[in-house]
Amino acid sequence: MSVFVHARPDCIVSKVYITGLGLITSIGNDLASVIRSLRELRHGFEVHPLFDRSGILIHVVGTIKEFQVDSTDPEDWIFPKQYSIKREVLRGLGPNALFAYCAMLQAIEDARLTTADISNPQTGLYAASGGSPFLTHHLHERMLKVGVTRCSPLGIVASIAGTLNFNLVAHFKIYGASCGFSSACASSLHGLGFAYEEIRTGRQQRMFVVGAEDCNTDSILPFAGMRALSLQSDPNLASRPFDVARDGFVGTGGGAVVVLESEEEVARRGVKPYAEVAGWGQASDGYNVAISHPDGVGLHLAMKLALKNSGCTAEEIDYVNAHATSTPIGDSSEAKALKAVFTNPATRPAISSTKALTGHGLSLAGAMETAFCALALRDGFMPGSAHISKLDPGCDGLNIIRATLPAQPHVVLNNSSGFGGANVCAVLKRIN
Amino acid sequence: MADVAHHGPGINGSKQPFSAPGKSFTPEDEAALTEALKRCSPATIEAAVKFRKTGDPAYVPAVVIGIIERFAEPDQRAKLREADDDVRIIDDLGIDSLTMMEIVMLVEDTLQMSINNDELRHLRTLGDIKVFIDCKIRGLPLPKPSRFLPIEHIGMVMPIQPPFLFLNEATVGSNGASAKYKITGEEFFLKGHFKDNPVMPASIMLEALGQLAVLFLLEGGHGEEGKQADPQTIYFTSCEGVRAHRVCKPGDLLSLSIKPKRMKMPLATFEGQIRVGQEKAAFAEEITLTFGLRDIAVAPAPAPQAAPAASAPAAAQPPAAAARTVVSAPAA
């Protein structure tokens, strides 16, 4: 294991690599399915019965298939048989933690990690979730009705925002760094950035980065209160980032796990990484609790800082996985930020938002979309930005690709922005 | 019943501790009960329904075991079905304190009783739980909790000492005791028994059970008011129905347990058994000890009267000579 060298800013002790992925998403519950969905621009939306009731107004959701998690009793849940989960683990999980747990098992297998690799003081876990409002609601109701001693002893553990780290650190016996991130839709990209730091500085050799959200009315519907959700009832139209007629995002949930490792561990284990995490940047809008700065100043700066941190220039970027959620304001802000960064038309990158296929995963988005970028870098393609009939004129000058490009990207940016104007940008590089 | 104010309606909306037979147990209540117990075995549900209809405590053990089984990991359930009262909930069944809370909640709902945290603390074995619930149901005072005694404590109180002490640790409760002893291979008698083939003598296994019975007499809090068993007076008198089932060798961990069968001064008769893992190693239908009493060796109450209490005639005498019943070993 590396010795921790005295920390001067930006002193690099180790490069950082992505060595494993696990995904439970609306576009697939395994890597092969997800790759197919990304390449072929297959979305994961359905008109969902729970949502599609008069008075609710919201019809379309990015559903998680093969998981039946509507009950407040985890012992009722149905999930794919390959995941064997003890009752004692299940009882402390909300739907989001269940998705994360399954994604964790996938990622561990994908990275070919042994128990010793996972469970040691040099391996940590950073997680991001908004918690489970569904379970919180149920528990509070039950507490008022029958008294708190009649509530599940693990109610709090299963429902508050830290639920992913509580559960995963305990059940996977993580002895290294652990923490939860709470910056709304930027959360899991913050997790990625800080996990990168742990390895870069030699403080950890391996980090799991986890993002997960429930996928139900409690986690998604409240956004209709701020008129942020699309009112479309056609699953093929509803999520259309950068389209001129976009009217709000489509919610989704699921779980994503990205495994980061140091150079030393990659060499020791003899594994071939998906990609290198070359650097990251973050900056805030300081503008409004929920609305992004109209000129995207925070995102602009975050991208600039990410480029500087990774030693890359804007000209080197081949592809940007935009945050763009399909909201009128948010997509505009990002378009402006992108234009401010990529000023040279000759070298402008391909840009797309995969939220057109998955929907907006909230805390899950950063980790999930990092995984998509890793797959794109390894397999040599750039997913298109789906469902655009007429591009918003505000995007003129940006190369927003409508179809998947079967070309190999070398350097990729991944953006995430959250409430309060948090903006994070990560730079990923292809491995030769 | 504690904390009624904090508990909303139980399963059937009634807060009557033990429904009079047939009274407030409606078909809706039965449906709700069956739903709450839906992951228990059909036999458990049946016993629960019968209990709620009749209030007969005889159904309770089946309900309690069925509920514990429902929460135990599948591979642990076999242990429960063997229904040995000495099975330890946490150590043997892998049930942690959070699962205990879940078990308690379902037991409370099913049997319509309430249990508070303090009462739970002392429930270590299946037997403890059954006795506890039984006492609650019948409105009896709770038994004293079983206590875990490490080797240091055992060494302090027992008249038997190494190299002839065959208890490493013990748990003593009001209805029996259990202990563990690991055959180290260094025991002095193993050199000769047998030559080149160390085997724990059956007589020593019987002795170990007898020693556990001695510990039970000393630590089990028996005897009349103000008196306890006198360690200097405990002797083996007889045994019956002793069988050895398994050759035990160095490395084997013996699990001993004894249960009192009859206690009438000066004799105490016990049943005992030894297991190694799940296997029966030895069984004794009866081991009888004789014992005498002495006053409890505690500081006297602050009452200034010189005359001791009438029921402790020898209180003024030094403990060694105190109230010792004279016993002659039966001729046998």
Domains of chain B by residue range = 4-138, 147-296+314-321
* pLDDT grade for B17, boundaries at 50, 70 and 90: very low
Residue with the two structure tokens 């005791």: B177
- Is CATH 2.70.240.10 what the domain over A281-430 is classified as, yes or no? no
Which one has a higher pLDDT value, A385 or B307? A385
Per the prediction, chain A carries an average pLDDT of 95
- The crossing angle, in degrees rounded to 10, of helices A365-379 and A187-200 is 60
User: Percent of chain A at pLDDT above 70?
Assistant: 96
The string of pLDDT tens digits covering residues B80-95 is 777 677 788 888 888 8
pLDDT computed for residue B116 by the predictor: 76
pLDDT computed for residue A134 by the predictor: 96
Q: Find the range with the poorest average confidence among A408-422, B96-110, B288-302.
A: B288-302
CATH-assigned architecture of domain A16-269:
3-Layer(aba) Sandwich (3.40)
| Residue A175 to residue A167: CA distance in whole angstroms | 13
pLDDT computed for residue A198 by the predictor: 98
pTM (2 decimals)? 0.78
| Residue A145 to residue A174: CA distance in whole angstroms | 37
Residue B291: asked if its preceding bond is cis (omega within 30°), the reply is no
Take residue B105 and report the two structure tokens written for it: 């909640």
Across B282-302, average pLDDT: 81
Query: Closest approach of chain B CAs to the CA of A46, in angstroms?
Result: 32
Across A318-327, average pLDDT: 98
HEC assignment per residue over chain A: CCCCCCCCCCCCCCCEEEEEEEEEECCECCHHHHHHHHHHCCCCEEECCCCCCCCCCCCEEECCCCCECCCCCHHHCECCCCCCCCHHHHCCCCHHHHHHHHHHHHHHHHHCCCHHHHCCCCEEEEEECCCCHHHHHHHHHHHHHHCHHHCCCCHHHHHCCCHHHHHHHHHCCCCCCEEEECCHHHHHHHHHHHHHHHHHCCCCCEEEEEEEECCCHHHHHHHHHHCCECCCCCCCCCCCCCECCCCCECEECEEEEEEEEEHHHHHHHCCCCCEEEEEEEEEECCCCCCCCCCCCHHHHHHHHHHHHHHCCCHHHCCEEECCCCCCHHHHHHHHHHHHHHCCCHHHCCEEECCHHHHCECHHHHHHHHHHHHHHHHHHCCECCCCCCCCECHHHCCCEECCCCECCCCCEEEEEEEEHHHEEEEEEEEECC
B245 assigned to active site: no
pLDDT computed for residue B271 by the predictor: 96
- What's the ipTM? 0.79
**CB of A124 closer than 8 Å to CB of A208:** yes
* pLDDT grade for A52, boundaries at 50, 70 and 90: low
* pLDDT grade for A57, boundaries at 50, 70 and 90: confident
Task: Give the residues across from A101 on adjacent strands.
Answer: none
The string of pLDDT tens digits covering residues A365-378 is 999 999 999 999 99
Per the prediction, chain B carries an average pLDDT of 81
For residue B13, what is the DSSP state?
A: S
Domain boundaries defined on chain A: 16-269, 281-430
A43 assigned to active site: no
Residue B2, pLDDT above cutoff 60:
no
pLDDT computed for residue B306 by the predictor: 47
pLDDT computed for residue B66 by the predictor: 92
CB of B9 within 8 Å of a chain A CB? The answer is yes
CB of B118 within 8 Å of a chain A CB? The answer is no
* pLDDT grade for A108, boundaries at 50, 70 and 90: very high
Q: How far is residue A287 from each of residues A121, A174, A184, B317, measured CA to CA in Å?
A: 40, 38, 16, 89
Task: Give the residues across from A283 on adjacent strands.
Answer: A423
Q: Please report the sign of the dihedral spanned by the C-alpha atoms of residue A13, residue A17, residue A22, residue A26.
A: positive
Take residue A64 and report the two structure tokens written for it: 């998680």
Collect all residues with Cβ–Cβ distance below 8 Å to A269 and sequence separation of at least 6.
Answer: A112, A117, A261
Q: Compare all CA atoms of chain A with the CA of B104 and give the residue at the minimum distance.
A: A150
The domain B147-296+314-321: what is its CATH number? 3.10.129.10
The string of pLDDT tens digits covering residues A167-201 is 999 999 999 999 999 999 999 999 999 999 999 99
For residue B185, what is the DSSP state?
A: S
Across B137-166, average pLDDT: 89
Residue B101, pLDDT above cutoff 80:
yes
For residue B19, what is the DSSP state?
A: P
pLDDT computed for residue B35 by the predictor: 93
pLDDT computed for residue A8 by the predictor: 46
Q: How far is residue B30 from each of residues A327, B46, B274, measured CA to CA in Å?
A: 52, 10, 43
Across B61-72, average pLDDT: 91
Which one has a higher pLDDT value, B1 or A303? A303
User: Percent of chain A at pLDDT above 90?
Assistant: 91
How many residues are present in chain A? 432
Q: Find the range with the poorest average confidence among A94-98, B161-165, B275-279.
A: B275-279
pLDDT computed for residue B23 by the predictor: 56
Chain A contacts to B (CB-CB under 8 A): 75, 86-88, 91, 145-150, 152-154
- Single-letter residue type at A324: A
pLDDT computed for residue A53 by the predictor: 63
DSSP secondary structure string for all residues of B264-318: ETTEEEEEEEEEETTEEEEEEEEEEEE--EEE--SPPPS---SSPPTT-TTTTS-
- Single-letter residue type at A70: D
* pLDDT grade for B119, boundaries at 50, 70 and 90: confident
* pLDDT grade for B311, boundaries at 50, 70 and 90: very low
Collect all residues with Cβ–Cβ distance below 8 Å to A374 and sequence separation of at least 6.
Answer: A18, A21, A258, A274, A275, A428
Residue contacts between A and B (CB atoms, under 8 Å): 31
Residue B312, pLDDT above cutoff 80:
no
User: Percent of chain B at pLDDT above 70?
Assistant: 81
Task: Choose the closest CB to A153 out of B9, B101, B109.
Answer: B101
Across A44-66, average pLDDT: 84
Q: Are strands A319-321 and A411-418 parallel, antiparallel or unpaired?
A: parallel
**Catalytic option among B153, B193, B222, B245:** B193
Most B CBs within 10 Å, among A71, A87, A90, to test the B interface: A87
pLDDT computed for residue B297 by the predictor: 63
A138 assigned to active site: no
* pLDDT grade for B153, boundaries at 50, 70 and 90: very high
Residue with the two structure tokens 């805030």: A284
The string of pLDDT tens digits covering residues A298-309 is 999 999 999 999
